[in-house]
Amino acid sequence: MANTQFPSDFLWGAATAAFQIEGATTRDGRAPSIWDVFCATPGKTKRGDTGEPACDHYRRWKGDIELMREVGLQAYRLSVSWPRVMPSGRGDVNPAGLDFYDRLIDGLIDAGIAPMVTLYHWDLPAALQMEMGGWIHPDMPKLFADYAQVIYDRLADRVKMWITINEPWCCVDGGYFHGGHAPGIRDRRLGYLAGHNLIRAHAYAVQRYRAHENGKGKISFALNTTFSYPASDTPEDAAAAERAMLDFGGWFTDPPHFGDYPAVMRERLGDMLPEFSAQDAALLRGSMDYLALNYYLSDTVRHAPGVGHMEIERSFDPAYEKTQMGWPIVPDGFFRLLKWLNSRYQGLPVYITENGAACDDKPDAGGFVDDQDRIAYLADHLAAIAAARREGVDVRGYYVWSLMDNLEWSEGLSKRFGIIRCDPQSQERTIKASGHWYREVINGNGAPALARATWKTDPADNRAKALATEDR
Ligand code: IFM
């Protein structure tokens, strides 16, 4: 069995996001976000689920910290709701909203749990969307930095790990390409523009952080992406798979590392892709203190002449088992992605800021969920991280998605990612088998709880297709 022992200073955590758990959407001066508006629009979320009451965490946060302690978490990733803190998105601050996060951070620290704070996890104040058109407006980066400044002023004395923006790719793909996420627009040109301003906003917020008297911690944005396996061993498919990775992970990670988009995107997208000014490019370069990766799945790509600007076609290999989201379970892709990212964005430590599975949980009469499928998913993905570490990728921490079942955006409450069950009716919390297992992982820094991982690092044990991509 491969070595799955992690070092004693490896950080073990869990993650959530404000809109998915807080509820209290109209309390203490909070104003609506684009997700409140979206959820209130008939047909936009499954069964019409909304952010009310979600997990009612705004009122139950103390109990939730107790549960984190029971699971043995060393770290917790949360997001701040911009419309709770600045209801109009700019100008006046809502003291009650800011106080909530102040208490939460103190509570975490008192419990010995290190907070990681995400500034933007998709809940844009609706006023900014209505008054300015949201992320397509060129002034948004400055407004985001002003909001970030308010949060730094209040929390940066205690918070040492920061994420500016969560998964900008999802904001664009869901919000502007297919429209299944807020604000529900379908326009590719606007999508690239929104993405451009999200990237600029990251840079502006990093600049403010680094200039802040308490800005001594680490800051980055959270990337979501896949590893793309070529559909065949032809050079065309190999090139297409590489192009696909640049078009996904590279789109948002090249600018904050190198100061511009991947060359292949510039060549193929032409004037759809906005230009960074020299000043913005300078701000962007080196604006990640670490690489924050959210990993869930991988895909297969073939060269598709004439299909879109990038001429790629993505599919899911039917050979893989899938989670309840329909996402293929590919720990091998995680391992390869970590190596790919490490060779492209050299010199950055890595934190896995999300990883987890939606499973078809079946609670027993007492509310307990024996989620062996989720444990298997987590064990194999942790084994993949251990393997990447052995090959020199400097992964320093892991946050499971998610601490508890919550509102899965347009999927509503139908998809459950938690290691803690949250009954949507009674709000009763019950630690699942995966939560108890995760405690063992944390206590042993991996082994022996990871002995149950079935994924093997020896490529001969993996899919033949993976072999073809070995040297990429
Ligand atoms: O629930 C989401 C989260 O908000 C962002 N990353 C992916 C998760 C699962 O879809």
> At residue 2, does pLDDT exceed 90?
no
Distance (angstroms) between ligand 1 centre and the Cα of 296 equals 9
Sorting pLDDT into bands at 50, 70 and 90, what band is 346?
very high
| Residue type present at position 108 | L
167 is catalytic: yes
Q: Give the ranges where 18-86 is alpha helix by DSSP (H).
A: 18-21, 34-39, 57-71, 82-85
Quick count: other Cβ atoms within 10 Å of Cβ 210?
Answer: 12
Residues at CB less than 6 angstroms from ligand 1: 17, 20, 167, 294, 354, 401, 408, 417
Q: How far is CA 165 from CA 162, 197, 198, in A?
A: 9, 11, 8
pLDDT tens figures, 8-17: 999 999 999 9
151-179 b/e (C-beta count within 10 Å ≥ 16 → b): bbebbbebbebbbbbbbbbbbbbbbbbeb
| 193, 274 Cβ separation under 8 angstroms | yes
- Determine the pLDDT at residue 448: 87
pLDDT tens figures, 357-401: 999 999 999 999 999 999 999 999 999 999 999 999 999 999 999
- Determine the pLDDT at residue 460: 45
> d(Cα 174, Cα 195) in Å, to the nearest integer?
12
Q: What crossing angle do the helices spanning 331-344 and 372-390 adopt, rounded to 10°?
A: 30
Sorting pLDDT into bands at 50, 70 and 90, what band is 457?
low
> At residue 471, does pLDDT exceed 70?
no
What are the extents of the domains in the chain?
Answer: 2-468
> d(Cα 194, Cα 198) in Å, to the nearest integer?
6
Distance (angstroms) between ligand 1 centre and the Cα of 17 equals 9
pLDDT tens figures, 65-124: 999 999 999 999 999 999 999 999 999 999 999 999 999 999 999 999 999 999 999 999
Q: Pick 454 or 242 by higher pLDDT.
A: 242
- Give the ligand 1 atom nearest the CA of 409: 1
Q: 3.30.70.940, 3.40.50.2300, 1.10.1060.10, 3.20.20.80: which CATH number matches 2-468? A: 3.20.20.80
Sorting pLDDT into bands at 50, 70 and 90, what band is 209?
very high
428 is catalytic: no
Distance (angstroms) between ligand 1 centre and the Cα of 111 equals 26
Q: Give the mean pLDDT of 271-298.
A: 98
> At residue 469, does pLDDT exceed 80?
no
pLDDT tens figures, 178-207: 999 999 999 999 999 999 999 999 999 999
Q: Give the mean pLDDT of 318-344.
A: 97
Sorting pLDDT into bands at 50, 70 and 90, what band is 455?
confident
* Catalytic one of 22, 167, 242, 408: 167
Q: Give the mean pLDDT of 248-255.
A: 98
- Ligand 1 pocket test, pick from 221, 359, 401 with the greatest ligand atom count within 8 Å of Cβ, gives 401
- Determine the pLDDT at residue 470: 47
